Structure 1
Amino acid sequence: MALKQERMLSFGVELEFYIFWSIKGEEITSRPQGFESHPGAPLIVDKYDTIHDIFEPLLASVRELLQGSPEATVGATEKRLGNAFSYTATNERSGWVGVELVSPALWTTNEGFNEVRRVCEFLQSTFWISTPEHCGLHIHVGQGNDWLPIIFLRQIAAFLYAADPILAHSYPEHRLSGSRRKEDGLLKSIFGLFRKRVAEARIEDKFPRRPTTISYMFNSDTLQSAITYIKNFHNVKQSLEDFTPAPMMEAVSEILKSTHRHHIVELTRCPNRPTYSFLRLAMYSKKTIEFRQAAGTIDPAEVVSRARIAVRLCEFAANATQEDLYTMFYDFALVEADPAWIDFYDLFVDLGLRPEARVIHAVLTGTMDQSVRDRYFAQRESY
């Protein structure tokens, strides 16, 4: 990821999980289910009157861990981690509480990725932590404290828009299901709900066979809300009966003509584009592209892999020549007619993400273990 400093990307992670806590001096007579042989322990607190009584000791322990590694952070910052979200407590003396740890912006260097790894390994080995299905892992990609130049931003947007149906296969089924909130859309280039097909387990050292079913289907409720939005705000006359999505090449060509970030936000704001979100760029103070569909996890190999993938996708697109982009676009367009043409494993390998492809495969097939983690970090250290 050797970019010129003025073009170097940054990233941040948001880890959602539940942590088990206990009042100091309280004896834990039985471990939570599933943690009978876990090496960690409860987070010990002096009292529990509000969420902050638990959150502040957790923050303090992580900040202590990160002392001495300021070179990874974009600018000086005292608040390395973030806030709390919904929580439940089993009783007044101990229980589970939900938190979200938010990293600062980190440079896309080995130091930045290693800082994320250290935090995940620390959490995993120190505390009892659970990541139920409603928890997520969010990756933000930007350019330090600055706005991405419009030429880079529109290329990234067009690339992610075109690659979205392929990239969606790299996320767990439940993160792409109806549990996601519905969004209104803008353009006629709306593809509808993505129906994920889980690839079969690999044989020996090969990746799983590619899906052979059509990648798209329409969801009438989502489509109707989008058409209503178009009618009301853009005076485009269209109905469910005569709706046809714009060809992908037409859609990305429109994105590549954009001259303002808000225009790009609207062009990529179609419903059920699951692998990315440009909505934060519509906020004056937000400067990142967000990847939201990874399941909640503190597994260091998966978190670092997801972060590296998001960064590399943006980095490739930002620096790609027109020929590079359109070569990819034509491949992605072929997938609509022939899903066997290319899959996300092919894409990751083409972008130099073979180690990450192996980690994601282990996650999706339930074969993640310490040998996978060790191999991954050994490979990354040798690059």
Structure 2
Amino acid sequence: MSTQNQDFPGERKRTFGVELEIIVAWLWDDEPDPHQAIASTLPPILRCPVSLKKAYDEGTVVGEEKITKLIFKTFTDILKKHGLPTDLMEGIYDQWRIKSDETVSSIEGDYKWSGMEIVSPVERASDESFQLIRYTLDLLRSNYRIMVNNTCGLHVHVGDGSELMPLDHVKRVAGLFWAADPLLACIHPPHRRTNFWCQSIRERSNLAHGLIRDDDNQTHLSTCNYLGGSTRHGESPVSWREKYHDPRHLRAYEATRVQHDFEPFFMKDPNDRSASGNNRNITPSSSDGNLDIDIQVEKYAADKGSWDAMPKTPYVSTRDRKTPRFAYPVYTPEDPNQTMFSVLDDKAEDDIGVFAGVQEIYSCVSSCMIEWLLRAGDRPNYNLRAYACRNHNQRLTRPGTIEFREALGTVDGKWAETWARICVGLTQFAIHAPVKEYLAVLCHIDRAANEGAPYDVLDLLDEAGLFAEAVVVEKRLIENKENFRLKVMPN
């Protein structure tokens, strides 16, 4: 019997999307090309009609809007021509979109410049969808003269389709990126560390500063804990709670969260005014991987020396590296000349470390609390804004994603594809890795930070199974060793 057309249970693929911030060069129809001598080796220059010149030169809003609309339509048309559905409307996630971005600044020079943001559709993570990012950016680069400057970013959104990630997944992802933040920063130019729009969770977040949330509004807390709280086996997904969250639902949910109660929260019908079934005192499932992480992290905090989950030997990569290991990065107070924006959240005086931070994250009873802990400025480098309590009523217009913001904008399609793969791949590792392997990564990073153990960002990628991506990153680090201020460890 053929099984080709049968559906079998399987892993639900992660979803993702990217935002590509770029700057486009253009000229008036009657202007000479400033690079005419080498024009044959460059992409065509985008031309705008002289009829718009007067309004544009006067600096009127109407003049600028007309140029922007013309450029956006040109980009929309080229994408559509190559089979990529594209629109200019907000709130559309199944097509490419072209939009303005006020954080992208133009540059002075021989050309006119216009900033824009190109947003991909939401895609299931697959080789084809990652390759599409590369194809699209390479297509635009071959048809227009585009570039990036230090105000441009490459943002990757990783999510769970139309659902919010459940609390246990958010804990795992937040814990890993709290630990890995300093290592992953090595992949990007140092000035991204001091960019207002991607402030470090490890250096500037509420958690980094040791702050405690002060909120005595019990109704508000109950709602946050209900929508962002744990999802047990057999319970409806978070989207059901978003639809039904009046006081009776909150009370029924809280009844299953009292001490020693481990029954799932379930209401047969939205009009049923009581939770179905009786809550029985039972022992928690031994398959609760996050419970194991909770216990192990507490053991580490209590007595590091006798921690039974401690890897016995240093990490050894199974991949043939081309470089010696890079030293664990130490980020000194920033030079004001390298600060992209004048106002940053204060940097924590001391690093509280990997496990102290992870322990706080795992003590949270809702994803809202985790978002608050990792909040840094208006946008942290690993942004959980979609999980903030204040955003639960905006879910129709705000996808439930985690946003990776630290990458500098790029016109290199291969790097854009690789970084998207890394963001999704590390998220997948964080969520699905066995407890022992998850804790081993945290321990290796902690040892590198506190004991100078040999472990760098390439080891992190290797340990997460991202071998092809590690090869691309290794080449990037070799080429940018001086610009990224990387130091190698002595043999």
1:14 aligns with 2:30: no
Q: 2:383 aligns with which of 251, 270, 277?
A: 277
Q: 1:341 aligns with which of 454, 457, 463?
A: 454
Distance 1:345 1:44 in 2: 44
- The 1:88/1:162 distance shift into structure 2, 3 A limit, reads closer
The answer (yes or no) to whether the contact 1:176–1:274 under 8 Å persists in 2 is: no
Match of 2:298 in 1: none
Please report how far the alpha carbon of residue 273 of structure 1 lies from its aligned counterpart in structure 2 after TM superposition.
10
1:206 aligns with 2:312: no
Structure-2-length-normalised TM-score: 0.58
1:252 aligns with 2:351: no
- The 1:206/1:339 distance shift into structure 2, 3 A limit, reads same
Please report how far the alpha carbon of residue 246 of structure 1 lies from its aligned counterpart in structure 2 after TM superposition.
3.6
Q: Which amino acid aligns with 2:369?
A: H
The answer (yes or no) to whether the contact 1:22–1:44 under 8 Å persists in 2 is: yes
Q: Which amino acid aligns with 1:299?
A: D
1:41 aligns with 2:32: no
The answer (yes or no) to whether the contact 1:185–1:269 under 8 Å persists in 2 is: yes
Please report how far the alpha carbon of residue 102 of structure 1 lies from its aligned counterpart in structure 2 after TM superposition.
0.9
Please report how far the alpha carbon of residue 216 of structure 1 lies from its aligned counterpart in structure 2 after TM superposition.
5.1
Distance 2:375 2:114 in 1: 33
Secondary structure in 2 matching 1:347: helix
Q: 2:330 aligns with which of 192, 208, 215?
A: 215
The answer (yes or no) to whether the contact 1:182–1:222 under 8 Å persists in 2 is: no
The answer (yes or no) to whether the contact 1:82–1:103 under 8 Å persists in 2 is: no
Please report how far the alpha carbon of residue 26 of structure 1 lies from its aligned counterpart in structure 2 after TM superposition.
3.7
1:153 aligns with 2:170: yes
Distance 1:148 1:207 in 2: 37
Distance 1:217 1:140 in 2: 29
Match of 1:381 in 2: none
Q: Which amino acid aligns with 1:43?
A: L
Q: Which amino acid aligns with 1:206?
A: K
- The 1:5/1:27 distance shift into structure 2, 3 A limit, reads farther
1:83 aligns with 2:198: no
Secondary structure in 1 matching 2:163: coil
Match of 1:370 in 2: none
Please report how far the alpha carbon of residue 141 of structure 1 lies from its aligned counterpart in structure 2 after TM superposition.
0.7
Distance 1:209 1:222 in 2: 34
Distance 1:251 1:363 in 2: 30
CA deviation profile, 1:218-258 (whole Å, cap 9, x unmatched): 78x9999588xxxxxxxxxxxx7xxx654421321221232
Distance 1:339 1:266 in 2: 31
Distance 2:108 2:159 in 1: 39
- Residue ranges of structure 2 left out of the alignment (5+ in a row): 1-7, 53-62, 211-319, 335-341, 481-491
- The 1:4/1:174 distance shift into structure 2, 3 A limit, reads farther
Q: 1:314 aligns with which of 405, 424, 427?
A: 427
1:132 aligns with 2:149: yes
1:301 aligns with 2:417: no
Q: Which amino acid aligns with 1:109?
A: S
Q: Which amino acid aligns with 1:328?
A: V
The answer (yes or no) to whether the contact 1:117–1:301 under 8 Å persists in 2 is: yes
Please report how far the alpha carbon of residue 29 of structure 1 lies from its aligned counterpart in structure 2 after TM superposition.
3.6
The answer (yes or no) to whether the contact 2:199–2:379 under 8 Å persists in 1 is: no
Match of 1:233 in 2: none
The answer (yes or no) to whether the contact 2:198–2:405 under 8 Å persists in 1 is: no
Match of 1:121 in 2: 138
Secondary structure in 2 matching 1:7: coil
Distance 2:165 2:83 in 1: 28
* Matched residues, number: 328
The answer (yes or no) to whether the contact 1:210–1:339 under 8 Å persists in 2 is: no
Distance 2:34 2:129 in 1: 38
The answer (yes or no) to whether the contact 2:447–2:453 under 8 Å persists in 1 is: no
The answer (yes or no) to whether the contact 2:458–2:470 under 8 Å persists in 1 is: yes
Q: 2:206 aligns with which of 174, 186, 189?
A: 186
Distance 1:89 1:248 in 2: 40
Match of 2:227 in 1: none
Please report how far the alpha carbon of residue 270 of structure 1 lies from its aligned counterpart in structure 2 after TM superposition.
5.2
* Alignment map for 1:45-56 (pairs within 5 Å): 45=48, 48=52, 49=63, 50=65, 51-56=68-73
Distance 2:372 2:34 in 1: 52
Distance 2:31 2:99 in 1: 28
CA deviation profile, 1:93-116 (whole Å, cap 9, x unmatched): 972211111112111012211221
Match of 1:28 in 2: 32
Q: 2:440 aligns with which of 316, 327, 343?
A: 327
The range that moved more, 318-327 or 43-52, is: 43-52
Secondary structure in 2 matching 1:295: coil
1:360 aligns with 2:473: yes
Match of 1:195 in 2: none
1:104 aligns with 2:121: yes
Distance 2:365 2:444 in 1: 26
CA deviation profile, 1:74-130 (whole Å, cap 9, x unmatched): x98564213113565989x97221111111211101221122121011012111111
Please report how far the alpha carbon of residue 61 of structure 1 lies from its aligned counterpart in structure 2 after TM superposition.
1.4
The answer (yes or no) to whether the contact 1:189–1:270 under 8 Å persists in 2 is: no
- Residue ranges of structure 1 left out of the alignment (5+ in a row): 70-74, 191-203, 228-239, 368-383
The answer (yes or no) to whether the contact 1:10–1:106 under 8 Å persists in 2 is: yes
Q: Which amino acid aligns with 2:100?
A: A
- The 1:223/1:323 distance shift into structure 2, 3 A limit, reads farther
Q: Which amino acid aligns with 2:120?
A: S
- The 1:66/1:339 distance shift into structure 2, 3 A limit, reads farther
- The 1:56/1:320 distance shift into structure 2, 3 A limit, reads same
- The 1:345/1:97 distance shift into structure 2, 3 A limit, reads same
Secondary structure in 1 matching 2:96: coil
Q: Which amino acid aligns with 2:405?
A: R
Please report how far the alpha carbon of residue 169 of structure 1 lies from its aligned counterpart in structure 2 after TM superposition.
1.2
% identity of equivalent residues: 27
Secondary structure in 2 matching 1:155: helix
